């Protein structure tokens, strides 16, 4: 009997917020995640939040939903997150990264507004993404183990 198990596939949903056409970081993040063994469902630029929810329904095994926003309109683009969550959708950690408000100086209030919508994690730098995904996976495994 072969008792070797395939390592479990790790899958994430990635894309750029609805009003935002900045593509470079999206491509780099996709490549970085693939190098780390992730399967990436990349929805690309200008993706409405409802499309992220649809993708999660097609791929319920996704660990997280990763959304880039560079043009400063993250809050406007993510404003329907509370409604989607209230409808039982997007029930995975939503991680938002990039340039998260208009202007070069980011205030705590700008970030808090995004947390208030229900964003779970804000990451200015994509280099911290794999570490965050590993931490989320470990937390979920511990939760399952403790019942």
Residues that bind ligand B12 (CB under 6 A): 19-25, 28-29, 66-68, 70-72, 95, 97-99, 102-103, 123, 125-126, 129
**Which residues pair with residue 10 across a beta bridge?**
38
Nearer to ligand B12, 56 or 67 (CB): 67
Q: Which residue is nearest to ligand B12 (CB)?
A: 97
The dihedral through the CA atoms of 11, 13, 121, 26 has a sign that is positive
Nearest CA-CA partner of 62 in 38, 30, 85, 35: 38
Nearer to ligand B12, 89 or 101 (CB): 101
**In the complex, least distance from residue 34 CB atom to ligand B12, rounded to whole angstroms:** 15
Neighbours of 54 (CB within 10 A): 14
Nearer to ligand B12, 31 or 102 (CB): 102
**In the complex, least distance from residue 22 CB atom to ligand B12, rounded to whole angstroms:** 4
**In the complex, least distance from residue 114 CB atom to ligand B12, rounded to whole angstroms:** 12
Q: Which residue has the tokens 């995640």?
A: 33
Neighbours of 73 (CB within 10 A): 18
| Cβ neighbourhood burial of 9 (10 Å; 0-12, 13-18, 19+) | exposed
**In the complex, least distance from residue 8 CB atom to ligand B12, rounded to whole angstroms:** 22
Nearer to ligand B12, 62 or 70 (CB): 70
């Amino acid at each position: 009997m072969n008792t070797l198990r395939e390592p479990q596939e790790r899958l994430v949903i990635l894309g750029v917020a609805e009003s935002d056409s900045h593509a470079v970081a999206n491509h780099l993040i996709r490549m970085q995640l693939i190098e780390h063994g992730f399967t990436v469902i990349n929805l690309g630029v200008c993706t409405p939040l409802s499309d992220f929810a649809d993708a999660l329904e097609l791929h319920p095994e996704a660990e997280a939903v990763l959304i880039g926003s560079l043009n400063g309109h993250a809050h406007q683009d993510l404003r329907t997150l509370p409604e989607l969550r209230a409808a039982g959708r997007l029930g995975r950690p939503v991680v938002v990264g990039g340039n998260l408000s208009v202007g070069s100086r980011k205030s705590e209030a700008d970030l808090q507004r995004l947390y208030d919508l229900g964003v779970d994690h804000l990451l200015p730098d994509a280099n911290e993404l794999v570490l965050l995904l590993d931490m989320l996976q470990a937390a979920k495994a511990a939760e399952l183990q403790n019942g």
